[in-house]
Amino acid sequence: MDVLTIQQLKELSHDRQEWCLSLFMPAHRAGPEVEQDRIRFKNLLTAAEEKLSGLGWKNREIASFLKPAMDIQRQSDFWQNQSDGLAVFLGTDELHTFRLPIRFKEFVLISKRFHLKPVLPVFMQSLDFKILALSQNEVKLFDCTTFNIEKHDLAARIPNYAETMQFDQFIKQTQFHTGTSRGEGGERSGMFFGHDPKDDEKNHLLNWFHKLTDTLSAYLRDDRAPIILAGVKSLLPLFEQANHSLPIIKEGIVGNPEEENPQQLHKSGVAILEKKLMNEIATEKNRYFDLSTKQMITSDIDTIVKSAYHGRMEVLFYAPDFYLWGKYDPLDDKIEQHEQHQAGDDDLIDVAAVTTVLRGGKVYQMPVEEIPDQRSLAAILRY
């Protein structure tokens, strides 16, 4: 998976003055679909050829322009290392590829600026996250996207709790007086990770969690993807208390992670992030309607594009599958709209959304029926 930064978005957003290609497609990480992805990519390049031919380009000009992308199509290693979606931006003397955790729809556009709306979810929500599963026998760390989960190999870095803290004898003693039920073999079952710990146990666990957070912080370094904790209820607040550097999400996956497979953990993690995003969106929708009498909202594309460019846009709701074709000249602050796509047109919703992100505003994509006033876009202005 590649990282798309706000600085890269800014550089990609500049008007190229020359024709450039924006291409999006879904991708797969493994399996027979990988080879199908190469075929899909080749077909999309064929569509790009047809669009360039429609602009009057000669065959040799088309072949020369598309050669860097054609070279990618032939690289087996490139296709064996994909994420959930592939974005390709090709211009004169420049090629940018991003393997991102977004299941893109197939899309090809020839314009004089790159079409960037499909990648904006990277800046809207945490599409990549981690799950840290805490149990007595093993600490597991998973890399997740909306569609995938992969386990880190931490065995050599993080021994289990009992080995590291050398509390085997302590555990046996505490098992005697916790009042836990006896197992089938007549021995009392362990209780560290299943019941509310006593004061001594809490101190030992806090010490362990301090060591764990230090180890994970060094291991993850600059990776700031949000982390969802998974563990029994008594452990999660203790870990949060010990944590001083990891980006932990407050809501965790409660239960014994040893009893759940990675797919179950992943499903629970995605649900937590979606709930967090939905709550945020609901708050902003309520603000939209609260501000309806104060001339602080709009669904007019002219006002939205100009407000975005001048830094007045605070929140933009838009439908990702809607396009408003035309051109915006920031020097004259004038907008030209067309009912149908014409050569050289930009998607004005794309212009507004990308500019809003670059000016520090928030953008949320959703179906039209979920947008305030059920328009293709709606906005809250700063002033």
R_g (Cα) of the chain, nearest Å: 26
Mean of the pLDDT values across residues 42-62? 96
Note the pLDDT of residue 5: 87
Mean of the pLDDT values across residues 121-147? 84
pLDDT in tens, 102-112: 899 999 999 99
CA distance 297 to 240: 39
Q: Which domains does the chain have, with CATH numbers?
A: 1-119 (3.30.960), 128-278 (3.30.420), 291-383 (3.30.1330.30)
Nearest-CA neighbor of 356 among 306, 321, 319? 306
Mean of the pLDDT values across residues 263-274? 93
Note the pLDDT of residue 191: 44
Split at pLDDT 50, 70, 90, the class of 282 is: very high
More confident residue, 339 or 200: 339
Within the chain, where are the H helices? 6-13, 33-54, 59-73, 76-79, 121-124, 161-165, 168-176, 199-220, 235-242, 262-290, 301-309, 348-358
Instruction: Using DSSP bridges, classify how beta strands 128-134 and 346-347 pair: parallel, antiparallel or unpaired.
Output: unpaired
Least confident of 159-168, 262-271, 286-295, 313-322: 159-168
Q: Is the pLDDT of residue 25 over 80?
A: yes
pLDDT in tens, 326-347: 999 988 999 999 999 999 899 9
